[in-house]
Copies of this chain bind each other. A is one copy, B any other.
Amino acid sequence: MIEFTPTREQYVYTFGGVAPQMRVKPGTALRLWSDDAFGGALRTVEDLSSAKVDLRFVNPQTGPFYVEGAEPGDTLVLHLVDLVPARDWAASAAIPFFGGMTGTDRTVNLQPALPDTTWIYELDRDRNTVAFTARHSDHRVELPVEPMLGTVGVAPAGGEVRSSLVPDRFGGNMDTPEMRAGATVYLGVNVEGAMFSVGDGHYRQGEGEACGTAVEGAMTTTLIVDLVKGHAPGWPRIETDTHLMAIGSSRPMEDSWRIGNAELVHWVSELCGLHVMDAYQLCSQIAQVPVANVVDANYSVVVKAAKRLLPRAEAYGGIHAELRARARSLGPL
């Protein structure tokens, strides 16, 4: 087990364009500490995002890691073993002109901004909850902790470098609650070494991430990295014990859905030996489509199918089951 906690100087804010923090072999287990989306800048409700947050430098990434043997066209496999909150508090904010219920730098308008507001959530590890405390009214409620990673990605193709605010074909800031312990992520490799990184831990997040930020917290992530030669998926895929998923990230949101749905249909078609029209029909009747985010540079939509409703088949040679077993062999974390 390799453990890595970046110093503040080691934070990176892009996918691509930076030198690796270290080289790892396929099969390696890693324990990675990542700071929250704000780099820890919002610690009290008096810390306002307009003063403390520069949107060009959010979602500090832990990484990138150079995976030995990974070449363009290969499939990087990341199995999330465990996600544990690394602080006893988390923060969320309504950042002016950022989020789903406000004009933004893209959906521009001339209206006045919403009030810049910060919420601080307290973690209760025994109860496994975070407490929401209203800021403009009188209410407090404990919400279950459901840890997830907002950003998991590799270096993009074609020499591009993208902000860690962006989700796209290379993964990145997809902001889906499906990115949780037990999930195996498949990402197409674009450059030698794949150069993956993770960050943007959420102690919980609603689908859509409506206000633009989740319950943002530092996270300790245990994962196993592996590699399948070739077979790069077109877009990020996730496998769990129960589901196959594909994630599209684009604009408008129907394009994100089209991407995710086509990726799932093709995956099911190839995996199960179904004609693409039959896979299209079957997925039409069984798919679940939870929205991931409607607030980032691209919107992300998850399209998923329950394995029990699909023809029996082992994706990527059954690597998910193997990694689940290996994760258990790591013992209590």
Contacts and interface: CB of A to CB of B under 8 A. Distances in A.
Given A117-B281, A278-B137, A160 B158 contact: no
A17 interface: yes
Interface stretch (A3-11, A31-39, A178-186, A247-255): A247-255
A305 to B, nearest CB: 8
Contact of A108 (B143, B262, B289, B290): B262
Contact of A277 (B57, B132, B136, B212): B136
B285 A132 contact: yes
Nearest to A210: B284
Chain copies in the assembly? 4
Interface residues on A, range: 35 or more
A289 B286 contact: no
A281 B115 CA distance: 12
Nearest to A16: B161
B158 A250 contact: no
Interface string A245-275: 0000011111101110110010000001111
A299 interface: yes
A2 interface: no
A103 B261 CA distance: 14
A13 interface: yes
A19 interface: no
Contacts of A285: 92, 132, 143, 204-206, 214-215
A262 B110 contact: yes
Contact of A161 (B13, B160, B261, B299): B160
Interface string A17-36: 10000000000000000000
B210 A261 contact: yes
